Amino acid sequence: MDGAVTSRATAASIRGPDGNVSKVEVISYEPATGAEVWRGPVADVDDTVARARRAWPAWAAQPLSTRMELLRRFANEVRKDAEKLATTIAREVGKPLWEARAEVDSVIGKVEVSIRAYAERTSQRKLDSALQGTMAVRHKPHGVLVVLGPFNYPAHLPNAHIVPALIAGNAVIFKPSERAPATGEMLARCFHRAGISAAVMQFAPGGPAQGAAFVAHEGVDGVLFTGSANTGIAINRRLATRPDKLVALEMGGNNPMVVWDTPKLTDAAALVVQSAFATTGQRCTAARRLIVRDTMYDAVMSEVKTLADRVIFGAPFDEPAPFMGPVIDNAAADGLTESFLYLLSHGGRAIKHLVRPDDKLPFLSPAIIDVTAMKERPDVELFGPILQVIRVSDFDEAIAEANATRFGLAASLVGGTPQEYNRFWANVRAGIVNWNRPTIGPSHAAPMGGIGLSGNHRPTGYYAADYCAYPVASGEMEQPRAVIGVGLR
């Protein structure tokens, strides 16, 4: 989640009659209308951490079965509020209502997936030996973990950290994106109504300053982050001298999709459009670069453009339902427009122009641009509906183009033979490698993460259990037994 996209400021200093700053607030706005959605004071960082530290020991001491049951109750609370939560997501980040509802379903589904994952990946093990006693492996929680959430999936993606962290016995401080505090507050209330203490799972709204303060705080044992590579790098740099602190980074991607020999052109085009333009291109797994065999180019691009021309973009509650909503704000729309013009003025050839119907609102059409002739293609994550196309002549060139990035999150091959997919899988640098599937929508039952600037080798998804608890090896005997057999007088 990176590139030329910047955000409208949502942290406001409130001045009293004497001109002094009395408090700082977070304010979120509807991208589709500009209307205010939520307003509230930023969290007190020191007080929030102190409360979490006091609450953590009792939570960690709860039986695992109790923590799991409370998380199941949380899922039921989300079910009760599902439509209200989906409506809030749609308003606050501009998603079409159908997509916001799908996100709420993912929040609910994450609980049972996380319970299974914890049982499988952190199970207790014992190796018995008559003379050496028992060697046991168990897992402990880290303590107080800060979850820094993104705006594009303001409920599901932070929830993918929060639920495994709570199951493992950690206390959690959740700072949602400053663009989506209303969603974050609703999610937190569901945890609290389920019986999880407001000190164990704290809602802590704020902007970048509060996020940085939580990262640096001595009372925080780990940071679970989803967001841009730039911010992730800053977190990594800030904690580079603190190996005692857990850092899990899930960042963005400049993801390739390769289209090779296939008679299924309509299906191929659907996979491309889904991958590039779902969530208005605001997914870390979205296809940014389409790499096409030259002999397939005309046929493939004709189908892709025809389908992209049919995509409806509009407000979340429009009828008929749009496929794409707005991008998150006007600053993001401005940055994407500038990026498209940059590509166009440096050798790119527009296949489908980026259109912004209203300069005052952040609605953008799907855009497609051929950048084959560009001498230097910027390796950035353009977090929006811009698809760059590159034509190649052979499969080795396709793999080389796919790997021409510092990122390494998702990659997909459409078409080709099983042998070519095996080559693609073996040689493409990515944490998610698909065949005849979109780059987006990874399975909740699989790891979710990447390499390079896409992450720090701590995948979330099913593997979140791995970083939410640490293994402890124990040699155990009921009575002391030992001899020293060498080197004594």
The phi and psi torsions of 454 (rounded to 5 degrees) equal -90, -10
| Rounded (10°) angle between helices 82-93 and 181-193 | 160
**Residue 284 annotated in active site:** yes
Q: Are 245 and 239 in contact (CB under 8 A)?
A: yes
Q: Are 424 and 413 in contact (CB under 8 A)?
A: yes
**Residue 120, both tokens:** 């499988």
Pick from 455, 289, 440: which is nearest to 379 by CA?
289
Q: Are 442 and 464 in contact (CB under 8 A)?
A: no
The amino acid sitting at 216 is A
On the CB side of 370, CA atoms within 13 Å amount to: 16
Q: Are 162 and 201 in contact (CB under 8 A)?
A: yes
Pick from 274, 304, 277: which is nearest to 292 by CA?
304
CA angle 446/447/453 to nearest 5° reads 150
Residues 6+ apart with CB under 8 A from 478: 133
**Residue 250 annotated in active site:** yes
Query: What CA–CA distance (Å, rounded) separates 346 from 44?
Result: 47
* Catalytic option among 25, 250, 401, 420: 250
297: left (phi over 0), alpha (psi -120 to 50) or beta: alpha
* Catalytic option among 284, 381, 401, 420: 284
User: SS3 of 25, please?
Assistant: strand
Pick from 307, 284, 274: which is nearest to 414 by CA?
274
Pick from 244, 233, 291: which is nearest to 452 by CA?
233
**Radius of gyration of the chain from Cα atoms?**
24
Catalytic residues: 250, 284
